Amino acid sequence: MTINGMGGEGKIRIFDDFLGGADVAVSDTDAIKTAAGVAGPFAMYGSLAETDCGLVLLGKANGYARVTGTNEDGFGLAIGTEVSLSAALNGTIIVEARVEMQALTARDTFIGLVATAADDIAEPVSCSTTTITKVCACTGFLYSSQLTSAAWHMPYILASDTTQTSTDVVASQTPVAAESDLLRLEVDLDGGARWYINGKLEQSVGAGEAVTTTTLMAAIIGTFGTTTTVSDVDVDYFLVEASRDWSR
């Protein structure tokens, strides 16, 4: 007999406003940099043994943290959940963040859901002119200095996909250096999704298009190098919400 209990805490909510102290600050000498670590309530993935890679608090209004990647093409740093959320069991899944980039060159920045989040995390997609190529199944927001358009992009790439044309998923809004954008992704039980930028609905796709409903995914904010220049992104806050699976 299958019993689904609904008497407990049904909402999963993970939030960080980055107003805290040492729980999110990482210096070059911290032991946490030698392996996967913890950033407040979120896991930390990436090339943490690299000198420039880490997460530090900034003295900015509201409280910001700077996610700093590496100068290695395709690698960097991400903060987020474990690979533990599926649309079918946890939908509607919400990934929301307010982010700001100090520069718009030599970086790939991704906010959303990814199917792979290893200790030495790699970028979920690689980019060239108008082609977004899958590294792992993912759906979310992408800024890539390697794409022809400087706008935000909203890729949704299933495990069965190989590439996506950037002009099919380009947003109407473009990030501006030293200005913050509010990004919100909503993924439904049926694998459909909606993308909002600064409160404006930029894209929506139907059932099964954004994610494979049974695939476990991690919600992340990540920044990845493209050349010998270190990548980074500043985060005002990061919110992940989902429904709890009550199956026994």
Check which CATH number belongs to the domain holding 155 and give it.
2.60.120.560
Residue 34 has pLDDT above 90, yes or no: no
Distance CA 237, CA 239 (A): 7
Number of domains in the chain: 1
For tokens 């943290």, the residue is: 65
Domain range for residue 115?
11-243
Average pLDDT for the chain? 88
pLDDT of 84-131, one tens digit each?
999 999 999 999 999 999 999 999 999 999 999 877 788 999 999 999
Separation CA 162–CA 236 (nearest Å): 33
Assess if residue 26 is contained within a domain.
Answer: yes
**Structural domain includes residue 190:** yes
Residue 169 lies in a domain: yes
Instruction: Report whether pLDDT(222) > 70.
Output: yes
| pLDDT tens, position by position, 135-187 | 999 999 999 999 999 999 999 999 999 999 999 999 999 999 999 999 999 99
* Helix ranges (DSSP H) in the chain: 87-90
Please give the Cα distance from 42 to 25 (Å, whole number). Answer: 13
Q: Is the omega angle on the peptide bond into residue 29 within 30 degrees of 0, that is, cis? A: no
- Residue 216 falls inside a structural domain: yes
Of 122 and 204, more confident? 204
Residue 233 placed within a domain? yes
Tokens of 21: 């102290």
Of the two residues 3 and 129, the one the predictor is more confident about is 129
Q: Is residue 4 in some structural domain? A: no
Question: Residue 31 has what pLDDT?
Answer: 33
Decide if 78 contacts 238 (C-beta within 8 A). Answer: no
Give the CA-trace dihedral at 72, 167, 112, 248, to 10 degrees. Answer: -130
DSSP one-letter string for 4-62 = ---SS--EEEEEE-S--STTT---TT-GGGGS-EEETTEEEEE-TTSTT-EEEEE--TT
Q: Report the pLDDT value the prediction gives residue 15, as an integer from 0 to 100.
A: 95
Question: pTM for this structure?
Answer: 0.91
The 10 Å Cβ neighbour count of residue 162 is: 9
| The amino acid at 115 | A
Question: Tens digit of pLDDT for each residue in 45-76?
Answer: 887 777 778 888 888 899 899 999 888 888 89
Q: Does residue 2 lie within any of the structural domains?
A: no
Percent of the chain with pLDDT over 70: 89
Asked whether residue 192 is domain-assigned, the answer is yes
- How many angstroms separate the CA atoms of 36 and 199, rounded? 33
- Residues constituting the chain: 248
